[in-house]
């Protein structure tokens, strides 16, 4: 499993790439592996408002359906529009072409609630017991 050190992570297995106030969001390598082959993804429209810790979309695999949780609050400025037609990108490149949305962050102090790569890795280990 790979968790890039420059990213921030949520307890619910999303990652956040912070560039100024722009935060790109996807799900982690661990999440895509645990889900198995993703067959469906539902993303918000640009302009939608997302709230930290609240669902912003849905990802479905042959095993299960899961909510996607926003790592920070803000407005969705970009959506990976080809993704719903190519959900396998989430499995193949969770940190690359499998990105989901870009959020214009409202409050940078919210980043303090997120995990570093190291903390996230420990979280996953605890989760797996």
Partner 1 sequence: MAEPLGTTGLIFNEPLLFEQGAPGRRGYSLPACDVEAPPLDQLLPSHLVRKEIEDFPEVSEVEVVRHFTRMSQWNFAIDVGPYPLGSCTMKYNPKVNEEAARIPGFALAHPGQPDALSQGALRLMHELERFLADISGMDAVTLQPAAGAHGELAGMLMIRAYHIASDSVRTKVLVPDTAHGTNPASAALCGYKVVPIPTGERGYLRAERVASLVDDEVAAIMVTNPNTLGLFEEEIGEIAQVVHARGGLVYCDGANLNALLGIARPRSMGIDVLHFNLHKTFSTPHGGGGPGAGPVGVTRALAAFLPVPVIVKEGERFRQDYDRPRSIGRLRAFCGNFGMLVRAYSYILAYGPAGLREVAETAVLNANYLKERLKPYYHLPYDRPCMHECVFTDRRQGQHGVHTLDIAKRLMDFGIHPPTIYFPLVVQAALMIEPTETESREELDRIVEAFIRIAREAEVEPATVLEAPHHPKLSRLDEVRAARQPRLRWRRG
Judged by CB under 8 A, the stretch of 7-15, 36-44, 74-82, 101-109 that binds partner 1 is 36-44
Site for partner 1 in 55-114 (CB under 8 A): 62-66, 87-88
Q: Which is nearer to partner 1, 61 or 110 (CB)?
A: 61
- In the chain the beta strands, taken as DSSP E runs, fall at 8-9, 14-19, 22-27, 38-42, 49-50, 55-61, 65-69, 74-79, 101-105
Stretch that binds partner 1, among 4-12, 19-27, 34-42, 112-120 (CB under 8 A): 34-42
C-beta closer to partner 1: residue 77 or 97: 97
Q: For the chain, how big is the Rg over CA atoms in Å? A: 13
51 binds partner 1 (CB under 8 A): no
Binding mask of the shown chain, residues 12 to 31, with x at each position contacting partner 1 by CB under 8 A: --------------------
Burial 83-119 (b: 16+ CB within 10 A, else e): beeebebbbeebbeebbbbbbebbeeebeeebbebee
Location of structure tokens 């979280």: 123
Residue 37 touching partner 1 (CB under 8 A): yes
| Number of residues binding to partner 1, judged by CB under 8 A | 14
Give the tokens for residue 32.
Answer: 């895509």
Q: Establish if 1 lies at the interface with partner 1 (CB under 8 A).
A: no
């Amino acid at each position: 499993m790979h968790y890039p050190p420059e990213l921030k992570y949520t307890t619910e297995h999303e990652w956040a790439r912070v560039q100024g106030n722009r935060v790109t969001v996807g799900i982690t390598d661990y999440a895509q592996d645990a889900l198995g082959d993703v067959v469906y993804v539902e993303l918000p429209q640009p302009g939608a408002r997302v709230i930290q810790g609240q669902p912003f979309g849905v990802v479905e695999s042959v095993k299960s359906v899961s909510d996607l949780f926003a790592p920070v609050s803000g407005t969705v400025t970009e959506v990976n529009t080809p993704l719903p037609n190519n959900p396998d990108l989430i499995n193949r490149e969770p940190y690359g072409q499998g990105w989901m949305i870009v959020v214009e962050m409202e409050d940078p102090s919210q980043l303090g609630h997120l995990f570093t790569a190291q903390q996230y890795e420990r979280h996953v280990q605890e989760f797996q017991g």
